[in-house]
Amino acid sequence: MTDPGHTRLLLIGGDTSLWIGLSSIASATTQIFVPKGTGADSIAAAAADVEVVVVVLSDQGPDRMQPLHLIAQVGLQRRTVVLAQPEDHSAAAEAVLLGVAGYLQQGSTPEQLAMAIQQVTAHGVSYDAWGAAELHSRMELTDPPKLFPNIGAAKALASALELKDTYTGGHAERVTGMAMRLARIAMVEGALPSEVLEAGFLLHDVGKIGIPESILNKPGGLTDTERRVLQTHPILGERVVAPLGFPECVREVIRHHHERWDGKGYPDRLAGTAIPAAARLFSIADVLDAMTSIRPYRKPVSFTNAIREIKANAGTQFDPHLCALVDEAFLATHDDAARFPG
């Protein structure tokens, strides 16, 4: 059960059942407030000492978007989670255009709302799959596409994916941190540390939004057919980000992070330095996190053993030059070993 933790919330709209449900799973230290009035001044005053604003939009009426406009007017959109009616295109489009931090459909459970609040507090963004789809479809209509900063869009889409794939919660943030760490050690042309590189790492698995949950969350091994479907996610991911205006490096990480040094990867069976540097670097962190994380089909291995396995596959699965840097990147100090257990 997700707990929004020591968070002060401002609630605008909705009925009492939602707030009671949220209160029931929140920690004792979570405080919930409502504004005294409906004007911009009242909302701004009430929001002065809160971390997250939750707005529930009505499903009808000429002024139903007014709460969103007031939130934007007082500059609170980057701390706001919107709850809108299912498949409400107008609400989703308005939320995206105003740069609202979080988006959920009404009918989401209190636990899902609590998770969104937690993600907005910790990472600044949380979109469910519907909101993320609206995000990139709206960006496709913008020339040039620029509704969010690149890193904001990346976090929104990565957040949406992790709400769908229950077995990889936190993977995108963890593996991005690890890959950026290796990038700062390696300083390889084509994979130099930058916000663009970070966006590519965050979005590496965004194509899984198009993979059935029955495959993503299957507790046993996949059939050959299911495996082939899963292996389409790099291509699907490239299509998802195509209209968003990300630089080429982002597309390369998404499409090629499952290629192998020996040419036996997918989807294009690239080999050696034909694989873009950012994808070669990221694949090491990706496998490292996968090996040391809980999966439905196997137990995690220790971090030390995972590092040993990475180095054993230098020159076959991984770039040997980058493999030679993993000790320095991840096991250089005692503090690092504590951060990456094993």
User: Quick check: is 56 in a domain?
Assistant: yes
Q: How far apart are CA 121 and CA 168, in angstroms?
A: 20
**Are 218 and 336 in a shared domain?**
yes
Are residue 311 and residue 251 in the same domain, yes or no? yes
Mean pLDDT for all residues in the chain: 80
Task: Count CB neighbours of 55 within 10 A.
Answer: 24
Give 254-266 pLDDT, tens digit per residue: 999 999 999 999 9
Angle between helices 150-164 and 171-186 (to 10 degrees): 130
Same domain, 93 and 167: no
What are the pLDDT digits (tens) for 264-293? 999 999 999 999 999 999 999 999 998 988
**133 lies in a domain?**
no
Q: What's the first-to-final CA gap in the chain, in angstroms? A: 27
Poorest-confidence range of 20-34, 181-195, 222-236? 20-34
Residues 8-23 have pLDDT tens digits of 888 888 766 666 766 6
Q: Same domain, yes or no, for 197 and 334?
A: yes
Q: Nearest Cα to 293, choosing from 340, 335, 228, 326?
A: 340
87/157 same-domain check: no
Full-prediction pTM beyond 0.75? Answer: no
